[in-house]
Amino acid sequence: MTKRWLTVMLLSMTTAMAAHGSVTKAAFGTTPDGTAVDIYTLKSDGIEAAIMTYGARVVSIKTADRDGKVANVVLGYSALDGYEADKSSYFGAIVGRYGNRIAFGKFSIDGHQYQVPTNNNANSLHGGTVGFDQLVWQAHAVAEGVEMTLVSKDGDQGYPGTLTAHVRYSVHHGALRIDYSISTDKATVVNLTNHSYFNLAGDGQGTILHDELTLLADQYTPVDAGLIPTGVLAPVEGTPFDFRKATVIGKRIDDDNEQLKIAGGYDHNWVLRGKNGEVKTAARVYDPASGRVLTVTTTEPGVQFYTGNFLDGKAFGKAGESHVKHSGLCLETQHFPDSPNHPAFPTTELKPGETRHSTTTFTFSTQAK
């Protein structure tokens, strides 16, 4: 073999390795009941994401800014105890069984009434007192990623049916993709989402109020004082909820608007254009300082845009880490909150024999000044 051919071969091997990236596993502590928690680090071109088995949580996402400087762009804690102590932020977690709220924790399926825990004033939030965010998932490495599995027994937090949830995280060319696959043995309701808080300048680098946001939605679901949708699909036109053209998040957040006052900022569900089940762009965020851009695509019909209004700077864990108000933003792709009590919303019911598939991708890129 000539030296030239050897060089070509070696070069193509390196490219193949880089393109396939790597998946590594390490220990990330132990829960108080002695369960080991693992963390998987997924690497591909332009992205490194760490996912742990406690809550199937995204612990970090490292990407480069427009000058090539790498930073972690999601909020979190450096150790497991911070995540265990903070029961209200849901940093990076898969929330469930029902992401966001169910009014009074009540719903009925086929004439049966169900009551799930009310852990958010009068309502149920993110699956109840011990939601999927606080459970240790089973995990195994897959090509370019990790698949997390949780079996939630019939009656868990008051929900009917033994539910099996597979959540697969994978990385590809600057993107973190999440594939959900959920089944049940009894009719139930389910709405899983990922609750990462993004700060494109980096965790701890100020607030997200300077970011420019685009939301591909013509309507949103206004809420009552308990943050439960009224059932109306309201046009965003002429309101601070209109992000159809890129707009600085902080520009209208303090406007004299009843909906913004109820939530202390943005904490609402937008009705995405396009069909439920088909991939569409939900959102784009641009941080002018770092040049980082986040594009969110999803098969879900809605997205909860939340500006971290309840983050209050309280310190958690031995390291005493804290996060201030508006220091991160969430784009929780989902079915609409309280759907079980709004028959006109896309249904969240899942029946035995069916599998609910859903995909959301967070793609990172940069934009020149």
Q: Which of 268, 289, 265, 270 is CA-nearest to residue 281? A: 270
Residue 96 C-beta-side C-alpha neighbours within 13 Å: 32
Alpha-carbon span 189 to 161, nearest angstrom? 9
Is residue 84 a contact residue for ligand GLA (CB under 6 A)? no
Give the tokens for residue 301: 């019909």
Q: State which residue, 138 or 310, has the beta carbon closest to ligand GLA.
A: 310
Give the tokens for residue 216: 């591909």
Nearest approach, Cβ of 291 to ligand GLA (angstroms)?
27
Alpha-carbon span 345 to 301, nearest angstrom? 10
Greatest Cα pair distance, the chain, in angstroms, is 76
Q: Which of residues 292-311 bind ligand GLA (CB under 6 A)?
A: 304, 306, 310
The answer to whether residue 332 is catalytic is yes
Is residue 91 a contact residue for ligand GLA (CB under 6 A)? no
* Number of shown-chain residues binding ligand GLA (CB under 6 A): 12
Cα angle value 220/222/227 (rounded, 5°): 125
Q: State which residue, 90 or 180, has the beta carbon closest to ligand GLA.
A: 90
Is residue 330 a contact residue for ligand GLA (CB under 6 A)? yes
Alpha-carbon span 276 to 71, nearest angstrom? 34
Nearest approach, Cβ of 1 to ligand GLA (angstroms)?
59
Q: Assign 221 to helix, strand or coil.
A: strand
Is residue 118 a contact residue for ligand GLA (CB under 6 A)? no
Sign (positive or negative) of CA dihedral 63, 69, 72, 74: negative
**Looking at 195, 268, 323, 342, which residue is catalytic?**
195
Q: Which of residues 201-260 bind ligand GLA (CB under 6 A)?
A: 227
Q: Which of residues 266-295 bind ligand GLA (CB under 6 A)?
A: 267
- Beta bridge partners, 36, equal 30
Q: State which residue, 80 or 330, has the beta carbon closest to ligand GLA.
A: 330
The answer to whether residue 342 is catalytic is no
Alpha-carbon span 246 to 286, nearest angstrom? 9
Nearest approach, Cβ of 306 to ligand GLA (angstroms)?
4
Nearest approach, Cβ of 195 to ligand GLA (angstroms)?
6
Q: State which residue, 40 or 180, has the beta carbon closest to ligand GLA.
A: 180
**Looking at 126, 147, 332, 342, which residue is catalytic?**
332
Alpha-carbon span 313 to 318, nearest angstrom? 15
Binding segment toward ligand GLA, per CB under 6 A, in 13-21, 82-90, 111-119, 134-142:
82-90
Residues 165-204, mask of contacts with ligand GLA (x by CB under 6 A):
----------------------------------------
In the list 60, 100, 157, 358, the residue contacting ligand GLA (rule: CB under 6 A) is 100
Cα 193 to the center of its chain, rounded Å: 5
Q: What is the CA radius of gyration of the chain?
A: 21
CB-based closest residue to ligand GLA: 306
In the list 77, 90, 107, 180, the residue contacting ligand GLA (rule: CB under 6 A) is 90
Report whether 47 contacts 174 (CB < 8 A): yes
Length of the chain: 369
Interacting residues toward ligand GLA by CB under 6 A? 88-90, 100, 125, 227, 267, 304, 306, 310, 330, 332
Q: Any idea which residues carry the catalytic annotation?
A: 195, 332
